[in-house]
Each structure stands twice: as C-alpha cells, then as structure tokens.
Amino acid sequence: MPSDRETTITQSVAVTVLAPQSVDSIHEPTCREPDVHILLPPLLQLKAISERFTKLALPSSNAAAIADENHSTRLILSASPFGEFRIGVQTAACKIESKWQGLTNPELDPTQIE
C-alpha cells in the first residue's frame, strides 16, 4: 500500500551576488576546432573500461592519498585521423591505457560545422 506522506527537505546554499561589471567579464571558454572527428567504440565498452580505470586511479588507503597528494591523476583521451582511439589514466603509481583501431573517421560537410 503506497504511503501518502509528504517529505520536506531544506538545504542551505551559499549564494554570492556579483556586481554587474564582474558579470560582464564572464564568458564561456573558447575551444579550438578539433583535429579529428571519430566515431567512438560502443558506449558499453567505454563505460566498463572507464569504471575499471576509475577504481585503479582512486587511492586505496589514506596513506596512498597522502603520498599521492602532490601528484595529479590525468585522464588521457586521444584520437587519430587513421581510426585509432585511446583512453587511459595516469597517476604517480601507474599508467594504463586501452586502444581501439579501425574506427570510422567520417568526412564532415563543411556547411554543417559551426
């Protein structure tokens, strides 16, 4: 039997009001045009690998977290116009990478690119 109880959740959120002149200086970051457009491998494969990489990149103990404090974890994504795609993780302790080959690098219609 479903319950008809009502739950009220209250949350404190810090809000900073910016002056109009500082708001005018905020812009979206610009990104350069990509060097390559590539059709990615199946998303289920990418999801499984990214979950494994995430577990490897996370420190397993407080000692590891303290030791890794001065080192950053890097996510590595790269693609080539020859149909190669790489995804990887690099930490102070390890570097692991997966590579796909033979992916499609489609020809794009120049009128459809912004």
Q: What is the CA radius of gyration of the chain?
A: 22
DSSP label at 12?
A: -
Least confident segment among 41-55, 57-71, 74-88: 57-71
d(CA 100, CA 109): 25
Beta bridge partners of 59: none
pLDDT, one tens digit per residue, over 3-41 is 678 888 888 989 999 898 888 888 888 888 888 889 999
* C-beta neighbour count of 96 within 10 angstroms: 15
d(CA 46, CA 104): 16
